[in-house]
Amino acid sequence: MKLAIVSDIHANLAALEAVLEDIEGEKVDKIYCLGDVIGYGPDPRECLELALDFPINLLGNHEEAVLVGAIGFNPKAKAAIDWTRDQLNLESEPIEKNREFWNFLGRLKRSHLEGDFLFVHGSPRDPTREYIFSQDYQDRKKMDDIFACPPGVDWRVCFTGHTHFPGIFSQENPYKFNDPASLSNKFSLRGLANRIIINVGSVGQPRDNDNRASYVILEEADVRFKRIDYDIGRTVDRFKDCPQLPEYLARRLEEGK
């Protein structure tokens, strides 16, 4: 089985299309999405339309916010959530299509377990909302709790997104975090002594000072991190068509942070 694992598309159609083109060349069997197809970006409907074909889609905190309210979101992110909700209710679009999108969001699962692989948006402890930042490897209590969750679930590798920062957390003493570059963008799961958490990064809004789209290929026991160039200017221009979206959200795409 060869999987492409994507996350945090954030309504960036140009980035998603570039990643899907690269995935096509990889000849994968399936695409799994860890959530946040929408939010921030200018093309939520178009990105949802493409995500409908993925066999696994998980609930991200931005989908949750569109469904139940942007609790705890900063003003810029909340403005994008409110705008996104309006886009999914457009009277100029067929009511059946609007309903299809809302039904899709309502069916999203919080996690997916497949063998000893666990897939979540945030963390094993809180699949939708909890951030595991790269520096958190130094917080022993937090990491102990996260790696022990969910109770009774026997996972070996957990794939996450949410922070938009790719890398691998290792359950060692002490814990470790490795960014993909330090691993030459590949990692073998063979002979793992302990659990690991792999953040696949963000397709549509990277924040690790690299503005290229990020995703992961999982093939048998091998993980590859991939970075894909895309037409950032195309997405920035789309923001200009959507003045209700904060300009800051477009600028950060160029900066990769």
Residue written as token pair 């793992």: 192
Best CA proximity match to 34, nearest among 13, 7, 53: 7
Quote the tokens at residue 100: 């299809």
Instruction: Decide: 47 and 202 in contact? Cβ < 8 Å.
Output: no
pTM of the complete model:
0.96
pLDDT at residue 210, rounded to an integer: 97
pLDDT at residue 173, rounded to an integer: 86
Which residues form the domain of 130?
Answer: 2-255
Instruction: Decide: 16 and 203 in contact? Cβ < 8 Å.
Output: yes
Q: What is the pLDDT of residues 77-130, one digit of tens each?
A: 999 999 999 999 999 999 999 999 999 999 999 999 999 999 999 999 999 999
Q: What is the pLDDT of residues 169-210, one digit of tens each?
A: 999 889 999 999 999 999 999 999 899 999 999 999 999 999
CA distance 69 to 81: 8
pLDDT exceeds cutoff 90 at 71: no
pLDDT band at 17 (very low <50, low <70, confident <90, very high): very high
Please report, for the domain that includes residue 6, its CATH number.
3.60.21.10
Q: What is the pLDDT of residues 219-228, one digit of tens each?
A: 999 999 999 9
pLDDT at residue 72, rounded to an integer: 87
Percent of the chain with pLDDT over 90: 96
pLDDT band at 9 (very low <50, low <70, confident <90, very high): very high
Count up the domains in the chain and report the number. Answer: 1
